[in-house]
Homo-oligomer: A and B are copies of this chain.
Amino acid sequence: MCSLPVPREPLHRVAVTGGTHGNEMSGVCLAQHWLRMPRELQRPSFSATPVLANPEATAACRRYVSRDLNRAFTSSFLSHSTRATPEDPYEVKRARELNQLLGPKASGRAFDFILDLHNTTANMGTCLIADSVHNVFTMHLCRHLQLQTPDMPCRVFLYQAPGEETYSINSVAKNGMALELGPQPQGVLRADLLSRMRSLVGAVLDFIELFNQGTAFPAFEMEAYRTVSHVDFPRTEEGDLAGTVHPQLQDRDFEPLQPGAPIFQMFSGKDVHYEGEATVYPVFINEAAYYEKGIAFMQTEKLSFSVPALPALTPAPTPGP
């Protein structure tokens, strides 16, 4: 496997971002709480910075005000050659502010790590969204989280297609990851998911602390799910829904979908079946925010791969006499 470079220095500049989508309440409420009481985010070698990423969407309890903030961290919006105007959508302005605060993206001055907090209405359980299996540091972090929560699945999902330009808030930092916990309705804060997210954030900070303190991590074998395609709902000519996710597919995120299995139930009563030739693993099944994106679920493939050891940081050379 071709590996990306691992950090050579301790990670001191770490941010935890919530409310990137303003109606995903676990991250919204944790960010608001930690802005008042940041002690929980402190470790001996660093203090993570809590950030409420999209305050206007949070105030309105909506995913976004003008456009999806978590798709706005691209060069076309962030680059110096793009002229900012007062008419720019709120989230484009906010992406530029966050890029100043946490980046600039792809620069040496960017934050070392951003952990971004999300919820989904889909039955995704505990899902870790990473950019690339080649990022050895992040894969070790994912492995650490899996070992901390042995009683429930904790899947690694590669959301972005390979080669696609990164666009998420955590792509601004040198390293990053998103937590995606579900199911939770938009605008609702469930105590069980809040506790789970809070523990996971703690475990992420603990892993960074271990790394900063000079811990080495051995090689291991890993599984992850990678997006292969999107499937839209059946629709009428006018674009209205003509059916919905089949009861046999609903809530079955990450379970294998075999050719011929039902995927939609039409309002007429008819079933629609999966016509692909290969087994796929659907995710984000019936996610509320994806109706407008034309996505009833995403099809993924399951990968198995080896992750090389993460070497201990070399202590900084002692200054000469």
Contact = CB atoms under 8 A, between A and B. Distances in A.
A241 B194 CA distance: 13
A33 interface: yes
A186 interface: yes
A250 B185 contact: no
A236 interface: yes
A36 interface: yes
B265 A188 contact: no
Contacts of A267: 29, 33
Interface stretch (A163-171, A202-210, A287-295, A310-318): A287-295
Contact of A250 (B192, B241, B288, B291): B192
A247 interface: yes
A186 B288 contact: yes
A32 interface: yes
Interface in A190-220: 190-192, 194
Given A32-B240, A33-B267, A246 B191 contact: yes
Contacts of A36: 236
A74 to B, nearest CB: 26
A291 B191 contact: no
Contacts of A188: 121, 185, 286-288
Q: How many copies of this chain sit in the oligomeric assembly? A: 2
A187 interface: yes
A113 to B, nearest CB: 24
Q: Chain A contact residues (Cβ within 8 angstroms of B): what range? A: 20 to 34
A7 interface: no
A187 to B, nearest CB: 4
B191 A250 contact: yes
A54 interface: no
A117 interface: no
Given A33-B267, A292-B61, A245 B187 contact: no
Contact of A187 (B29, B32, B189, B289): B289
Contacts of A20: none
Interface in A236-267: 236, 240-241, 244-247, 250, 265, 267
B187 A265 contact: no
Contacts of A183: 185
Nearest to A247: B191
Contact of A191 (B185, B189, B265): B265
B121 A191 contact: no
Nearest to A120: B185
A232 to B, nearest CB: 14
A186 B187 contact: yes
A292 B244 CA distance: 29
Contacts of A291: 61, 187
Given A29-B267, A245-B191, A121 B185 contact: yes
Given A29-B240, A190-B245, 7 more contacts: A36-B236, A61-B291, A188-B286, A189-B245, A189-B286, A190-B250, A191-B246
5 contacts: A32-B240, A33-B267, A185-B185, A185-B186, A192-B247
